[in-house]
Amino acid sequence: MTTEQTREILSKGGLKFTHQRMVIYGAVSCTHNHPTAEWVYEQIKSDNPSISLGTVYKTLDTFVNAGIIQKFVDNKGVMRFDGILEAHSHLYDNETNEIRDYRNEKLERLIKEFFAENQISGFEVEDISVVIKGHNK
């Protein structure tokens, strides 16, 4: 991802572009392994020694609140982050804590159609998160 693309994403989230935000967003967006804050910190600390683990946590939380990444809490209570905002589900392995993206247009369409046809009284659906739990065979 280019610096300009990162600048645009941060701007769309209403965030000021800074070097720290660029580096942290780059680490999250370049992987599909749903990293922890600690993983992000380990990836960036050698080239960015002035960025602390606390800064990584605060910045990731800022990104979640701005809607430019998603947060997922695994079965062990560990926060994991996802830079993919397009509609997708997650496969969660209960044995290894691995999280994989799962895209299925039929499933996404079924969920959207269901809630379009079955409104919840007094409630507006803003987002739907599907986590399919099991284990690898």
DSSP state of 66: H
- 126 in a labelled binding site: no
Backbone angles phi, psi at 73, to 5 degrees: -105, 125
CA dist., res. 56 & res. 136, Å (int): 31
Residues 6+ apart with CB under 8 A from 49: none
Q: What are the distances in angstroms from CA 66 to CA 4, 23, 39, 53, 102?
A: 18, 17, 21, 20, 24
Residue 83, both tokens: 């830079």
State whether residue 54 is helix, strand or coil: helix
CA dist., res. 38 & res. 53, Å (int): 7
Binding site residue list for Fe cation: 108
Binding site residue list: 108
